[in-house]
Homo-oligomer: A and B are copies of this chain.
Amino acid sequence: MQHLLSVDDMKESFIFDLWSKASDQKDGFSDVLKNKILTNLFYEPSTRTSSSFYSAMVRQGGSVIPINNVKFSSAIKGESLEDTIITMGTMSDCIVLRHPEIGSVDKAAKVSSVPIINAGDGEGEHPTQTLLDGFTIYYNHKKNIDNLRITMVGDLKNGRTVKSLVKLLSRYSGNYFNFVSPKDLRFPQDSIPKKSFETDKIENVIADTDVLYVTRVQTERGSDHEYSLSTEQLNLLPKNSIVMHPLPRVNEIPRDFDNDPRAKYFDQMIYGLWCRMVLLEGIMS
């Protein structure tokens, strides 16, 4: 059984193999998962992530049981997460789980008879987001993911995507991080990489950036610090750099930058589809 619960579960060889296959995926359809069923078990709604897994599964020839409002159902009758997982494991071949509580995926994996893919456990992890974030860099930098200058901007304290991506990128040599945030939203000091620089002024670092990773204001997790980059600031970026964002965007990036060739935040959705297609095939076929 091969669960995917955390970035730590993914070895370098696993990642490069997946990225290599995802590079060739494009818009292909296949029947490789024809007689397989995926459960999309979302205790917290996430249209983007659940739709991406849905589309990926269908493109591989499989089917999806979509469960989007568990709170209205068994859970209100007092059923434990574990019993729901065992139950869905009798009906399907893999479970994509999003749950608001950190650690819930570990509980689920402990009892599950089918592989669990963590699609976000509260402030914990969301490893397929990290996979697609890493792939975006790899794919747009000549299949290279080291010796890069990565600038992360925004709420670096609350977002799980930034923490996981830093963890991943730190595995490769020569990557350097710029953390740009207001003082109360700084990157967690206990996990800050050695090769890094902190500032609250993006102009200090933007011209010296290969990857600009902009994060969303996490209003639903208590943050009320709005910010937005201007087109002028974004134009300080080098020509070959890329701009990423895990979405949804609020006002962090102006809409008129969307057609700039450096803007990759919507392409990330396409890459996510490719990565998930390869992942589902690897897990179930």
Interface residue ranges, A against B (CB under 8 Å): 29, 34-35, 37, 39, 45-48, 51-52, 54-55, 58-59, 63, 65-70, 72-74, 76-80, 82-84, 86-88, 90-92, 216-217, 219-220, 247-250, 255, 258, 266-267, 269-270, 273
Contacts and interface: CB of A to CB of B under 8 A. Distances in A.
Contact of A51 (B34, B39, B80, B258): B39
A91 B219 contact: no
A265 B263 CA distance: 50
A51 B51 CA distance: 18
A69 B46 CA distance: 10
Given A90-B266, A249-B83, A273-B90, A65 B51 contact: yes
A248 B55 contact: no
B47 A54 contact: no
A250 B79 contact: yes
B35 A29 contact: yes
A34 B31 CA distance: 11
A98 B269 CA distance: 23
A255 B216 CA distance: 41
17 contacts: A39-B51, A47-B67, A47-B73, A47-B84, A51-B87, A51-B91, A51-B92, A52-B91, A54-B91, A58-B63, A68-B69, A68-B72, A78-B217, A78-B248, A79-B250, A83-B247, A90-B266
